[in-house]
Amino acid sequence: MDYEPVIGLEVHVQLATKTKLFCGCRTTFGAPPNSQTCPVCLGFPGVLPVLNKEVVELAILSAIALNCTINPYSRFSRKNYFYPDLPKAYQISQYDLPLAKDGWVEISSGGKIRKIGIIRVHLEEDAGKLIHEDSGSLVDYNRCGIPLIEIVSSPMLRSSQEAYEYLNALKDILRYLRVSDCNMEEGSLRCDANVSVREKDAEGFGTKTEVKNMNSFKAVKQALDYEISRQIDLLEKGRRVLQETRLWDERESRTHGMRTKEEAHDYRYFPEPDLVPLSINPEWVNKISKRLPELPKDRMNRFLKEYGLPEYDALVLTSSRDLADYYEECVRLYNQPKVISNWIMTELLALLKEDGIEITQVKIKPEHLISMLGLIDKGVISGKIAKDIIVHMFRTGKDPSLIVEEKGLVQITDEDEVSKVIDEVILENKKAVLEYKSGKTKVMGFLVGQVMKKTEGKANPQIVNKLLREKI
Amino acid sequence: MGITKEEVEYIARLARLEFDETEKEAFTHQLDKILEYVDKINELDTSHVQPSSHVIPLENVLREDNVKESLPRDLVLANAPKKERGYFKVPKVIE
Ligand SMILES: [Zn+2]
């Protein structure tokens, strides 16, 4: 029998504010445990939460970019449960009246564009962090009260690949908005998945499990693949899928059922009496939408049209807003979009990847990259030398002219000088010269290579070619 | 329709409260009375009244995203029955 998976994702994204959702504590990642806490986020009796305006605005901005309808009236609710990561014994969240609803994002799936529905976007506070040790559990409340938006997709993802694409689309958009850095390793993006399988093209849904504890995009894909085949396997054996929460175990590459008490899911939501409702009028939404940048898809399409780039280049260059900004700054300084794209795509991105850094941390300033291209144009350096120079620029952030001077990398364009080297090469490679004369013109490449080797790549290749042909 | 003893037991369990049989009986009765009293409101026709979750006519009480100094950590941990390396320490919880 043919089965198809039905996947819905719940994604929690940390909003990039300076302070927490309801108090002025910092949100700095990696601070010493419990150093960013106060009576409000520790849930002391008698304290009052006050909503952070920037949180609301970043959430509205996200909702607009995700094509959602902003609810003109929304409110907060208490979600009640006991766990040491939650000092108040309730989480302030949104329940019946979330901030926004009914949106979508586009993903490409099997060469086609699919719109994946977003059911809702709501605000909530994060809980603390637990570290389990043999002698007990350690609790750090720095994360407690960190602002999150939860983005709930409709269950219309049909493969782990689509789920992966959806997550990437979300990440790209939210990073463009500078709403979050969406770093799964640091916990600023987390993803839980609801998974079920059913006979292909069936109407209803199968029993679903909730899969948690994936800490990279790759892990989400792997966990979904595992869970889908586990469920199909059960059904094929005539057994049934148990509705439960399952944890992904990275080390064992499998999911484990989590033992939960039956009433664990009775959160007894009720309206948060300490916070007044949120009323968001169209004027406010309009004002915030002015902060909306050109989004990745639109920017990619513009790169294709305006700069005539291949689709792959446009896709890579617009994958992050900072990279696209960097590229466009270079193009503004030097109107050779394709040349610049080639240098960034092949050299610069390889260097970034090697060092595991982002374009924002790169030492090469756009004006330096451009002056390097200028040196090639003027024949001061060859393209080959430039590939060494860009590595030095990457390491030191120095001006390329300075590097050329310091390292003595100026191209040899003096014909007499090149000529001398060619004479040597001809003498040392008599056999190859004879082969060339007998019609094996391929040998030319070898001879040019020998000249370049002797000059440490500094000879101007056009001159080498010209003189070699004249001499043999 | 009244509150049952089972419901009282369920709510007590959710709230991590332990009651003996006499208390359970008493609370069943009392909760029942309270709900009966609140039920009185159903005698009114509220079909044209906007539901409200807050009694004060306020909305959008917001603060700017400005940092306020947190509590010094020794104060944060001052009342903790157990602490270790700057963390609160609790009996081991396994998910
Ligand atoms: Zn705080």
Residues A184-207, buried b or exposed e (16+ Cβ, 10 A)?
A: beeebbbbbbbbbbbeeeeeeebe
pLDDT of residue A241: 93
The DSSP code for A262 is G
Residue A451 has pLDDT above 80, yes or no: yes
Residue A144 has pLDDT above 60, yes or no: yes
Q: Which residue has the tokens 């109407």?
A: A203
> Residue A123 burial (CB < 10 Å; 0-12/13-18/19+)?
buried
The β-bridge partners of A3 are A199
> Which A residues, 371 through 390, put their C-beta within 8 Å of a C-beta on chain B?
none
Residue A8 has pLDDT above 80, yes or no: yes
Residue A261 has pLDDT above 60, yes or no: no
Rounded mean pLDDT, A266-284: 94
Shortest Cα distance, chain B CAs vs residue A408, angstroms: 52
pLDDT of residue A409: 73
pLDDT of residue B42: 87
Residue A328, sorted as left (phi over 0), alpha (psi -120 to 50) or beta, turns out to be alpha
pLDDT of residue A259: 67
**Domain range list for chain A:** 3-288, 296-407, 415-471
Determine whether the interchain pair B88/A141 forms a contact, defined as Cβ–Cβ distance below 8 Å.
yes
Task: Name the least confident of A47-51, A90-94, A171-175, A453-457.
Answer: A453-457
Residue A25 has pLDDT above 70, yes or no: yes
Residue B37 has pLDDT above 70, yes or no: yes
**Residues A447, A436: Cα–Cα separation, whole Å:** 10
More confident of the two residues B44 and A459 = B44
pLDDT of residue A194: 97
pLDDT of residue B41: 87
Rounded mean pLDDT, A458-465: 82
* DSSP per-residue letters across A6-56: EEEEEEEEE---SB-SSS--B--TTPPTTSS--TTTTT-TT----EEHHHH
Rounded mean pLDDT, A198-204: 88
> Which A residues, 400 through 439, put their C-beta within 8 Å of a C-beta on chain B?
none
pLDDT of residue A264: 59
Phi and psi dihedrals of A99, rounded to 5? Answer: -60, -40
Residue B94, sorted as left (phi over 0), alpha (psi -120 to 50) or beta, turns out to be beta
pLDDT of residue A312: 93
Reported pTM: 0.84
**Residues A256, A259: Cα–Cα separation, whole Å:** 9
Determine whether the interchain pair A277/B59 forms a contact, defined as Cβ–Cβ distance below 8 Å.
yes
Shortest Cα distance, chain A CAs vs residue B89, angstroms: 5
Please report which residue ranges of A141-216 form alpha helices under DSSP H: 160-176
Q: How many CB atoms lie within 10 A of CB A82?
A: 11
Residue A103 has pLDDT above 70, yes or no: yes
Structure tokens at A170: 């979300």
CATH architecture for residues A415-471: Orthogonal Bundle (1.10)
Average pLDDT value for chain A: 92
Rounded mean pLDDT, A3-20: 97
The partner residue sitting opposite B89, judged by closest CB among A39, A51, A136, is A136
Residues A409-445, buried b or exposed e (16+ Cβ, 10 A)?
A: bebbeeeeebeebbeebbeebeebbebbeeeeeebee
Determine whether the interchain pair A139/B70 forms a contact, defined as Cβ–Cβ distance below 8 Å.
no
Shortest Cα distance, chain B CAs vs residue A306, angstroms: 39
> Which A residues, 53 through 82, put their C-beta within 8 Å of a C-beta on chain B?
53-56, 75, 80, 82
Determine whether the interchain pair A134/B92 forms a contact, defined as Cβ–Cβ distance below 8 Å.
yes
Rounded mean pLDDT, A123-149: 96
pLDDT of residue A436: 87
pLDDT of residue A441: 81
List pLDDT tens digits, range A334-367: 999 999 999 999 999 999 999 999 999 999 999 9
Residues A61-76, buried b or exposed e (16+ Cβ, 10 A)?
A: bbbbbbebebbeebbb
pLDDT of residue A419: 86
Q: Name, in order, each residue with C-beta under 8 angstroms of B18's C-beta and a sequence gap of 6 or more.
A: B12
Residue B62 has pLDDT above 90, yes or no: yes
All domains in chain B, ordered by first residue: 5-42 (1.10.20)
Helix or strand holding residue A403 (H, E): helix A400-407
Rounded mean pLDDT, A269-282: 94
What percent of chain A clears pLDDT 70, i.e. is strictly above it? Answer: 99
What percent of chain A clears pLDDT 90, i.e. is strictly above it? Answer: 75
Task: Name the least confident of A371-385, A402-416, B68-82.
Answer: A402-416
Rounded mean pLDDT, B52-77: 92
Determine whether the interchain pair B54/A273 forms a contact, defined as Cβ–Cβ distance below 8 Å.
yes
| C-alpha A34 to ligand 1 mean position (Å) | 10
The DSSP code for A459 is B
